[in-house]
Amino acid sequence: MRTLLRLWPYVRPVRARLFTAAFIAILASCIGLVIPLVLKWMVDGPIADRDPAGVWLGALYLLLLGLAEALLFGFRRWLVARPLSGVEAAMRADLYRRLQRLPIAFHDRWPSGQLLSRGTTDLMLLRMFLAFPLTFLLVNGVTILVGVIIMLVQDWVLGLVILVPAVPVMVTCVVFEKRYSRAARLAQDQVGDLTTVVEESVLGIRIIKGFGRHRSQARAFRELSGKLRGTELHKARLLAAILGVIVTLPELAIGAALVLGAVRVADGDLSAGTLVAFLSTALALRWPVDSIGFLLAMSQEAATATERYFEVMDAPEEDPGPVAARAAGSAAPDGGDGGDGGLRFHGVTFRYPDAPAGSPPVLDRVDLHIRPGESLALVGATGSGKTTLTALVPRLHEVTSGRITLDGTDITALSREELRSRVAVAFEEPTLFSASVGENVLMGAGAAAGRDELERALDVAQAGFVHALPQGVDTQVGEQGLSLSGGQRQRLALARAVVGRPGFLVLDDPLSALDVHTEAAVEAALRRVLADTTALIVAHRPSTVLLADRVALLSGGRITAVGTHHELLRTHPEYAHLMSGDPVGEQKELR
């Protein structure tokens, strides 16, 4: 209940309709309990007196009561259908918004299938719970209570006989609840794992087919599917066990009450109408009692779904505003003389949050200054921390210590929205969305960007190929942009980075997938863009390095040298090796 109460903020706006629906359901159930009383009147009255008119009147009463019960239950269903669909939609929208605001470190840890299952299967379970079990746990509880009172009023001896199974049924429910909760959580986690495998198989279908790994992937899927099947069967066994107890014990009690009541009617201690009414009431309570098992099961599944939903919602999101502690002394340029203009790293150290204790940082006291309007190439061996360093500028990760400034202003003193409007990024692995070419590119610009900006960006990225597509810039590129080549995706990602005319540009090896001729054309166009912006460019090839005014060498998480390309070739063998693999030969050739 503590877990399920967390749904209240979402339920509060529709509480009036839910409470009304619950009241109507209770009223309908109580109308059903009036039917045995009418039967008692008919048996002890018109039937005993052989009064046909009274029998027909009683039949009319029963018909009207039945119709009223059916109409009320139908009205209850109508009341809850629309608002609960709204609750599900609101929770799904909140989950999506939270996922967009959670830091990259969160997404690095969580499989996408687990997040997808929380936004689909789990929310469907919660909607079903709010529509049915939540109401009927209350309705059936009230119905059972009212029914037991009616039976005790009619005959307290038979009433006590009916109540005998109450204690073992309650004990069974407590044991069932604990065991089923664990099984339900395991099943829902396994659904998330299975969803992850399916998603990865679809996105990686080229790799699977290219290496002929479809059998091993199918085997992995069957293993996970088999585990889920085993868990679902375990849940079914638990539900079968509680249903066996809940159904059998009350049936035995009803049988005992029937025998005892018949003996007492024969002895004249009890009227036949009272026995009929008593047994009819007991039978009317069969469904409320029998339903306890699956209502508890659905409630436990809803509780675990709620836990899983709020595991994401409770994760700390990125702070959209400035960090006050740092903002206090860094909102204005240091020194006031413009010496800290451009992009500057001040003793930046970074360690991933989930890194083992005592492990060395990825970046260690990095000091680097890219002057206004300057382009700086960042070179280093694989794993040296280049991509991590670029991710710190738009605050995809937060520095562990030190600070980064833009034109003298600490980036933590800026809201993320403002920061990311000033800094544009293009990653080595380009990501495109299931949208048109134009929509993908214009994601990098403000809402006012139009066709002229789009064409300029496409021209800079040498992405004129889009005009040969079936619908030109309105062509849908498909999921992940896999309908395009790697070089085409990379050019569109570069166009997205430059379309908004950013003041600061961060490019992570943006030309790695291009052929030599296309690379030369892109570089020529990109030089015009770099003349008006401050840029940090991760580079692996001399052609990309030559785009920059200066070069910084990153080694072992630290900046070990800064200079021009030719200066570093002469003075740093490590740099020369990275550029050519042959320091001496490269030096002779490029001199």
Domain of 63: which CATH number?
Answer: 1.20.1560.10
Model confidence pLDDT, tens digit, residues 449-458? 678 888 888 8
Overall average pLDDT of the 426-446 stretch: 81
Whether residues 105 and 197 share a domain: the answer is yes
**How large a percentage of the chain has pLDDT more than 70?**
92
Adjacent-strand bridge partners of 344: 369, 405
**Residues 181 and 165: beta-carbon distance below 8 Å:** no
Residue 570 burial by Cβ neighbours in a 10 Å radius (0-12, 13-18, 19+):
middle
Confidence band, pLDDT 50/70/90 cuts, at residue 309: very high
Whether residues 329 and 302 share a domain: the answer is no
Adjacent-strand bridge partners of 375: 535
Model confidence pLDDT, tens digit, residues 285-303? 888 888 888 888 888 888 9
Nearest-10 crossing angle of helices 166-203, 112-119: 130
DSSP-derived letter for residue 45 is I
Model confidence pLDDT, tens digit, residues 137-192? 888 888 888 888 888 888 888 888 888 888 888 888 888 888 888 898 899 899 98
Domain that holds residue 405: 324-590
Adjacent-strand bridge partners of 368: 345
Could you count the other beta carbons within 10 Å of the beta carbon of residue 459? 14
**Residues 221 and 201: beta-carbon distance below 8 Å:** yes
Please give the Cα distance from 111 to 353 (Å, whole number): 17
| In a domain? residue 272 | yes
- What torsion do the CA atoms of 316, 321, 325, 326 make, to the nearest 10 degrees? 120
Greatest pairwise CA separation for the chain in angstroms = 123
Whether residues 257 and 345 share a domain: the answer is no
Q: Which residues contact 51 (CB under 8 A, 6 or more apart)?
A: 45
What the block records as the tokens of 267 is: 């002895």
For residue 587, is pLDDT > 60? no
Please give the Cα distance from 339 to 558 (Å, whole number): 22
Confidence band, pLDDT 50/70/90 cuts, at residue 327: very low
Phi-psi region for residue 335, left (φ > 0), alpha (ψ -120 to 50) or beta?
left
Please give the Cα distance from 481 to 287 (Å, whole number): 54
What the block records as the tokens of 26 is: 């209770």
For residue 321, is pLDDT > 60? no
Whether residues 269 and 405 share a domain: the answer is no
Overall average pLDDT of the 70-78 stretch: 85
Domain end point (choices 261, 280, 313): 313
DSSP-derived letter for residue 43 is I
Q: Alpha helix (H) ranges present in 132-213?
A: 133-154, 156-163, 166-203, 205-210
**How large a percentage of the chain has pLDDT more than 90?**
9
Whether residues 241 and 330 share a domain: the answer is no
- Domain with 502 in it: what CATH number? 3.40.50.300
HSE, side-chain direction, 13 A CA sphere, residue 455: 5
Please give the Cα distance from 465 to 235 (Å, whole number): 56
- At 323 the pLDDT is 47
Model confidence pLDDT, tens digit, residues 75-89? 888 877 778 888 888
Whether residues 339 and 441 share a domain: the answer is yes
| In a domain? residue 318 | no
Overall average pLDDT of the 543-571 stretch: 87
Whether residues 276 and 413 share a domain: the answer is no
For residue 336, is pLDDT > 80? no
| In a domain? residue 268 | yes
**Residues 325 and 343: beta-carbon distance below 8 Å:** no
Whether residues 278 and 332 share a domain: the answer is no
The lowest-confidence range among 162-171, 262-271, 356-365, 427-436 is: 427-436
Instruction: Decide the pairing of beta strands 550-555 and 558-563.
Output: antiparallel
Confidence band, pLDDT 50/70/90 cuts, at residue 195: confident
**Residues 556 and 381: beta-carbon distance below 8 Å:** no
Model confidence pLDDT, tens digit, residues 410-422? 988 888 888 888 8
Whether residues 520 and 563 share a domain: the answer is yes
Please give the Cα distance from 496 to 425 (Å, whole number): 8
Model confidence pLDDT, tens digit, residues 214-230? 888 888 889 999 999 99
Is 401 in a helix, a strand, or coil? Answer: strand
Confidence band, pLDDT 50/70/90 cuts, at residue 338: very low
Domain count, the chain: 2
| In a domain? residue 107 | yes
Q: Alpha helix (H) ranges present in 43-155?
A: 52-101, 104-109, 112-119, 121-131, 133-154
Domain end point (choices 291, 313, 335): 313
| In a domain? residue 578 | yes
Please give the Cα distance from 194 to 127 (Å, whole number): 22
For residue 585, is pLDDT > 80? no
Whether residues 161 and 20 share a domain: the answer is yes
| In a domain? residue 319 | no
Domain end point (choices 313, 340, 367): 313
For residue 325, is pLDDT > 80? no
Whether residues 343 and 409 share a domain: the answer is yes
Whether residues 308 and 392 share a domain: the answer is no
